[in-house]
Amino acid sequence: MNIIMMTNTYFPIVGGLEQSIYSFSEQLRGLGHEVLIVTPAFEGMPTEEPGVIRIPAIQKFGGTIFSLNFPISGLLKRYMKTFSPDIVHSHCPFFMGDFALRLSRQHALPLVFTYHTMFEQYVHYWPVQNEGVKRFMVKLAAGYGNLADQLIVPSESVREILLNRGVKTPMAVIPTGVDLARFSKGDGGAFRKLNQIPPEAKVIGHAGRLSSEKNLEFLVNCLVAFLKKDPEAHALIVGLGPSEAMIKNAFEKAGLSARLHLTGVLHYQHLVDAYFAMDVFVFASLSETQGIVLVEAMAAGLPVVALDAPGVREVVEDHRNGRLLKEMDQQSFVEALGWVLSQTPVALEAIKQAARMTAQQFPIHSATDQTLKIYEKVRSRRSVALGKRNSSQYLFLWRMKGEWDLYRNYIQSFTTSVFKGNFQETEPAKIKDTTPFRPTPSKK
């Protein structure tokens, strides 16, 4: 089978979405399928990328790390003929997502859409930031989902949210899997020595893109508070992003810079070794649909302390493989960290074993097999349309309908966003922030 995957973001940006696309693509290729990844050009992208097409784009759009592709569908015309895809798999509901829908309609191909992200949590990247924009993102993504032939969601929580938002397209829950064997063996001692972390230190770790949608200000406040209480505690943070300056500033202001270890982005065995250098993994994001780093950490035997949120509650079980906190309260988070790190060796090993058992539920090969079944199923449902590929009249009408559907979705999303009341989201509403301390933003 030939699959074309289209995404707004890909390497060198590193996050759950990018890792998911890469992992699935590698697994599919290993099973003999062909995968073509189509994504905008980014600063610092690899010079050689077999199986990847970069679309010309406005880089660092709006002062962010992201790129905005030019909507020129003719750029893929030659590849569509030579590659001859069976499936168009979209990983975003706008920009490259619009491109994906146009290609699927133009060539009468099934469109699969994976809902990776709670897009309303990312409005700070837009020039205009208000409740109307949040409503617009919610409506636009849900409307796009109804234009696809099949949705894939990473967790049951996200499926329920989308059902409440009016998505009627068939949805399959397929969590992004992890290469469990890869994350089962690491050298934490060597990593600590390399990064000047004392062997006896209590290391609190985090990995991911360092940006505000990950709720890092709250997390940093908690880390600072805990390190002030425990002189043996150190913070190990893996990743890059615009919040790095805020993190450094907070630790510097608290006089804790010597116990902060920022590694930047790590790949391959270096990332695994980083997990093995940690004693507990912390996670405060409310914007995830799964949080693949949680599974990676648990595969390495790490207890997790996290806030209750979609995609997180499917992985973290309170007092079994870590702590799952119902409220965004600094004192509770700090106490949960203390609870994990004060366990007896026997009790701690039981928590670690429970974490490993949880990770066993998310093998990458199982997720790939389920995705392939979805591809076959959606191809079967679209068999009539696929049989009309050679009809120029049919393809023209189908393409025009696609343009109209995209236009109508944008207009309806905009009008309902402008003329409705204040935006409310049930999930974050139950999280209250009682953080007493907030670091001074960096002037960089």
Q: Is the domain of 370 the same as that of 349?
A: no
For the purposes of burial, counting CB atoms within 10 Å of the CB of 13, is it exposed (0-12), middle (13-18) or buried (19 or more)?
Answer: buried
Q: Are residues 314 and 202 in the same domain?
A: yes
Look at residue 443 and tell me if it is in a domain: no
Task: Looking at the structure, tell me whether residues 188 and 336 fall in a common domain.
Answer: yes
Note the pTM of the prediction, 2 decimals: 0.85
Strands 57-58, 68-69: pairing kind = antiparallel
Does the residue 444 lie in any domain?
no
Instruction: Quote the number of domains for the chain.
Output: 2
Whether 440 maps to a domain, the answer reads: no
Q: Are residues 166 and 89 part of one domain?
A: yes
| Separation CA 148–CA 169 (nearest Å) | 7
- Token pair for 236: 């190990």
210 plus 355 within the same structural domain: yes
386: containing domain? 2-177+364-429
Domain identity same for 148 and 134: yes
- Please tell me the distance from the alpha carbon of residue 38 to that of residue 204, in angstroms, as a whole number: 37
**Residues 192 and 274 grouped into a single domain:** yes
Shared domain check, 72 and 143:
yes
Residue 14 sits in a domain of what CATH number?
Answer: 3.40.50.2000
User: Are the CB atoms for 145 and 169 separated by under 8 Å?
Assistant: yes
Quick one: 61 and 124 in the same domain? Answer: yes
Write out the chain's pLDDT in tens, 444 residues: 999 999 998 988 878 889 899 999 999 999 999 999 999 988 888 888 999 999 887 776 655 556 667 766 566 778 888 999 999 999 999 999 999 999 998 888 999 999 998 877 766 556 566 788 889 999 999 999 999 999 999 999 999 999 999 999 999 999 988 999 999 999 999 999 999 999 999 999 999 989 988 999 999 999 999 999 999 999 999 999 999 999 999 999 999 999 999 999 998 899 999 999 999 999 999 888 888 999 999 999 999 999 999 889 999 999 999 999 999 999 999 999 999 999 999 999 999 999 999 999 999 999 999 999 999 999 987 655 555 556 677 777 777 888 899 999 999 999 988 766 554 544 443 444 444 333 334 444
- 258 located within any domain: yes
Q: Do residues 388 and 264 share a domain?
A: no
Question: Residues with Cβ < 8 Å from 55, sequence gap 6 or more?
Answer: 38, 39, 40, 41, 69, 70, 72, 75, 96, 99
Q: Which of 359, 386, 419 finishes a domain?
A: 359
Asked whether residue 394 is assigned to any structural domain, the reply reads yes
* Residue where a domain stops, chosen among 312, 337, 359: 359
- What are the structure tokens assigned to 64, written together? 């962010």
Do 340 and 398 lie in one domain? The reply is: no
Residues 405, 148 contacting (CB under 8 angstroms): no
Residue that terminates a domain, selected from 359, 386, 417: 359
Q: Are residues 257 and 273 in the same domain?
A: yes
Burial code (b: 16+ CB inside 10 Å, e: under 16) for 405-417 equals bbeebbeebeeeb
Taking residue 443's Cβ as centre, other Cβ atoms within 10 Å add up to 6
